[in-house]
Amino acid sequence: MSTDITTPASPVVLPPASGAWREGDDPGHRSFLDLPRPLPLEVGGELPQVRLAYETWGDLRVDAGGRSNAVLVLHALTGDSHVAGTTGPGHKSPGWWDALIGPGRALDTERWFVVAPNIVGGCQGTTGPASTGPDGRAWGSRFPFVTARDSVRAETVLADALGVERWALVVGGSMGGMRAVEWAAMEPERVERLLLLASPAATSADQIAWAAPQLAAIRADPGWRGGDYHGMPDGGGPHVGLGIARRIAHLSYRSGDELGTRFGRAPQGDEDPFRGGRFAVESYLDHHAEKLVRRFDAASYVRLTELMNAHDVGRGRGGVAAGLARVRARTIVGGVSSDRIYPLEQQAELADRIPNSAELRVIDSPYGHDGFLIETPAVAAMVTELLAD
């Protein structure tokens, strides 16, 4: 009689149809604001109901002149309002700029009131494609095209509700930088200081081209179902397409030199790439794809990528120079030396064309575009410099 014992294989945990936060989930550290009236959209029409999810740290103080200690932090494409803090109920990922916010840090919460909203069209509590529409069904494919200006309009309502007449600082990187520069152009009297990181005045053809195969991968996934997959069971959404999109995007977020130094041509563990196994760099991309499909929504990824493609601070304002001339804030523009998706010349353009002697700072980093998230001491130094006066 055989005495072999077979250990049961671990069950396969299918990815959810959508990794979005949904009504009824644990709110975590989020607060919510329901806009009191429909949100008019730049392309026409309106969103009849909008809820903004946001997080705050510290306490608001406003002096007799209306100047406040409020700082607005705006996230990148797959970020959200959870800028600082740990994982836990309601939060699948730790704070993406955790080392920047808290007592004794650059954004010292004993001095500054920090606010971070989730963008309109996002999937972590703010109204987006995964949210329930007025008819009780997920918005899905019916969710309209939104722009950075639409989200800024919603965020001005949030500022009013919080009692913030003027931001001491607005800071954002990548997509967050697009929102930040729109804040400064749309509401110049409400932005005292501005920090733009790894972002452009207008999205280039090259950047739109990088986005095209990402959008195509999601839409080609049978689980996409035209954008109406939110009621499907686990495994039924476009997670394959979203994972491919994430792999493509992540390549643009890191530099070739970093990938070469970090992985070279090494195999993944004992896998043999010549017999169906993976190289270590392939495993790295697989890991990031797997993480994203469990915490993000494919339709939000599509809508927000389209939002980034549409970004142009000069649209309807007489061109980029005229759009940037609206900015009144004291400004620092930070770029990453090895950024191959938003290269330094785009930050140089912002610094050259924003009035009031905007200054360019270069973050010397091998990490590519993600350097604005990784090189926290360099970002902290820029924040500290702006807030010193």
Taking every pair of Cα atoms in the chain, the longest distance, rounded to a whole number of angstroms, is 88
Q: Is residue 174 flagged as an active site residue?
A: yes
153-182 pLDDT, tens digit each = 999 999 999 999 999 999 999 999 999 999
The yes-or-no verdict on residue 278 having pLDDT over 80 is: yes
CA distances from 266 to 81, 179, 263, 275, 277 (A): 37, 40, 6, 14, 11
The yes-or-no verdict on residue 5 having pLDDT over 70 is: no
Determine the angle formed by the axes of helices 239-253 and 298-310, rounding to 10 degrees.
40
* pLDDT (0 to 100) of residue 132: 96
Quote the percentage of the chain above a pLDDT of 70: 97
205-219 pLDDT, tens digit each = 999 999 999 999 999
What's 273's DSSP letter?
G
Q: Report the distance separating Cα 76 and Cα 130, nearest Å.
A: 19
The yes-or-no verdict on residue 2 having pLDDT over 70 is: no
Active site residue: 75, 339, 365, 370, which one? Answer: 339
The more confidently predicted of residues 8 and 259 is 259
- Cα 298 → chain centroid: 14
Q: Encode 297-322 in three state secondary structure.
A: CHHHHHHHHHHHHHCECCCCCCCHHH
31-81 pLDDT, tens digit each = 999 999 999 999 999 999 999 999 999 999 999 888 899 999 999 999 999
182-207 pLDDT, tens digit each = 999 999 999 999 999 999 999 999 99
Q: Are 123 and 129 in contact (CB under 8 A)?
A: yes
Q: Is residue 339 flagged as an active site residue?
A: yes
The yes-or-no verdict on residue 96 having pLDDT over 60 is: yes
* pLDDT (0 to 100) of residue 1: 41
Place of tokens 């002149």: 65
What's 15's DSSP letter?
P
Q: Are 117 and 158 in contact (CB under 8 A)?
A: yes
In the chain, the amino acid numbered 387 is: L
The yes-or-no verdict on residue 13 having pLDDT over 80 is: yes
308-358 pLDDT, tens digit each = 999 999 999 999 999 999 999 999 999 999 999 999 999 999 999 999 889
Active site residue: 221, 300, 369, 370, which one? Answer: 369
What's 107's DSSP letter?
B
Which domains can be identified in the chain, with CATH numbers? 31-203+311-387 (3.40.50.1820)
* pLDDT (0 to 100) of residue 9: 55
The yes-or-no verdict on residue 233 having pLDDT over 90 is: yes
Active site residue: 174, 199, 255, 338, which one? Answer: 174
* pLDDT (0 to 100) of residue 3: 45
Lowest mean pLDDT among 65-69, 104-108, 229-233, 372-376: 65-69
